[in-house]
Amino acid sequence: MTQHSVPSSKLPQTGTSIFTVMSQMAAECGAINLSQGFPDFPVDPALIDLAAKYMKEGHNQYAPMAGLSALREAIAEKTRRLHGRTYNPETEVTVTAGATQAIFTAITTLVKEEDEVLIFSPAYDCYAPPVLLCGGKPVFAELRAPDFCPDWDEVKRRVNRKTKLIIINTPHNPSGTVWTEDDMRELEKIVVSTGAFVLSDEVYEHIVFDGAEHHSAARFEALAAHSVITASFGKTFHATGWKMGYAIAPEALMREFRKVHQYLVFCVNHPLQRALADYLADEKNYLNVSPMYEARRDYFIKALEGSRFKVVPAQGTYFQLLNYSEISKKSEVKFAEELTRKHGVASIPVSVFYPQPQEQRILRFCFAKHPDTLASAAEKLKAL
Ligand code: PMP
Ligand code: GLN
pLDDT in tens, 95-106: 999 999 999 999
Nearest ligand to residue 367 Cα:
2
| 323 C-alpha to ligand 1 centroid (Å) | 24
Residue 1 lies in a domain: no
Lowest model confidence (mean pLDDT) among 5-9, 88-92, 196-200: 5-9
Same domain for 144 and 71?
yes
- State CA 321 to chain mean position distance: 16
Beta carbon of 36 within 6 Å of any ligand 2 atom: yes
Closest ligand 2 atom to 126 CA: 9
CB distance 61 to 267 below 8 Å: no
What mean pLDDT do residues 197-210 have? 98
What mean pLDDT do residues 361-383 have? 98
Residue 28 lies in a domain: yes
Same domain for 247 and 291?
no
Same domain for 160 and 27?
no
Task: State the amino acid at position 332 in one-letter form.
Answer: E
Same domain for 246 and 139?
yes
| CATH for 31 | 3.90.1150.10
Beta carbon of 35 within 6 Å of any ligand 2 atom: no
Pairing of strands 245-248, 227-232: antiparallel
Beta carbon of 201 within 6 Å of any ligand 1 atom: yes
| 162 C-alpha to ligand 2 centroid (Å) | 30
Residue 269 lies in a domain: yes
Nearest CA to ligand 1 atom 15: 98
Cα torsion angle, 124, 101, 286, 93, sign: positive
Given pLDDT bands bounded at 50, 70 and 90, which one contains residue 3?
confident
| Planar angle of CA 33, 37, 43, nearest 5 degrees | 100
Average pLDDT, the chain: 97
Residue 11 lies in a domain: no
Residue 7 lies in a domain: no
| 90 C-alpha to ligand 2 centroid (Å) | 30
| 205 C-alpha to ligand 1 centroid (Å) | 12
Which residues touch 64 (CB under 8 Å, ≥6 apart)? 267
Given pLDDT bands bounded at 50, 70 and 90, which one contains residue 1?
low
pLDDT at 73: 98
What mean pLDDT do residues 186-195 have? 97
What mean pLDDT do residues 108-133 have? 98
What mean pLDDT do residues 328-344 have? 97
How far is the C-alpha of 31 from the C-alpha of 52, rounded, in Å? 34
Given pLDDT bands bounded at 50, 70 and 90, which one contains residue 357?
confident
Beta carbon of 245 within 6 Å of any ligand 1 atom: yes
How far is the C-alpha of 207 from the C-alpha of 209, rounded, in Å? 7
Residue 5 lies in a domain: no
Given pLDDT bands bounded at 50, 70 and 90, which one contains residue 2?
low
Residue 81 lies in a domain: yes
Same domain for 86 and 23?
no
| 189 C-alpha to ligand 2 centroid (Å) | 31
The backbone torsions φ and ψ at residue 302, rounded to the nearest 5 degrees and listed phi first, read -65, -45
Given pLDDT bands bounded at 50, 70 and 90, which one contains residue 39?
very high
pLDDT at 52 over 90: yes
> Of the candidates 281, 312, 339, which is a domain's last residue?
281
For the chain, percent of residues with pLDDT exceeding 70: 99
Nearest ligand to residue 268 Cα:
1
pLDDT at 241 over 90: yes
> Of the candidates 250, 281, 312, which is a domain's last residue?
281
pLDDT at 147 over 80: yes
Same domain for 249 and 326?
no
Nearest ligand to residue 348 Cα:
2
Beta carbon of 37 within 6 Å of any ligand 2 atom: yes
Same domain for 76 and 112?
yes
Given pLDDT bands bounded at 50, 70 and 90, which one contains residue 258?
very high
Same domain for 165 and 275?
yes
Same domain for 323 and 206?
no
pLDDT in tens, 276-313: 999 999 999 999 999 999 999 999 999 999 999 999 99
| 14 C-alpha to ligand 2 centroid (Å) | 16
b/e 18-48 (16+ beta carbons within 10 angstroms → b): beebbbebbeebebbbbbbbbbeeeeeeebe
What mean pLDDT do residues 107-113 have? 98
| CATH for 128 | 3.40.640.10
Task: State the total domains in the chain.
Answer: 2
> Of the candidates 281, 300, 330, which is a domain's last residue?
281
What mean pLDDT do residues 236-260 have? 98
Lowest model confidence (mean pLDDT) among 2-11, 12-21, 81-90, 331-340: 2-11
How far is the C-alpha of 155 from the C-alpha of 150, rounded, in Å? 8
pLDDT in tens, 314-331: 999 999 999 999 999 999
Domain hosting 188: range is: 45-281
What mean pLDDT do residues 338-363 have? 96
CB distance 176 to 143 below 8 Å: no
Same domain for 65 and 99?
yes
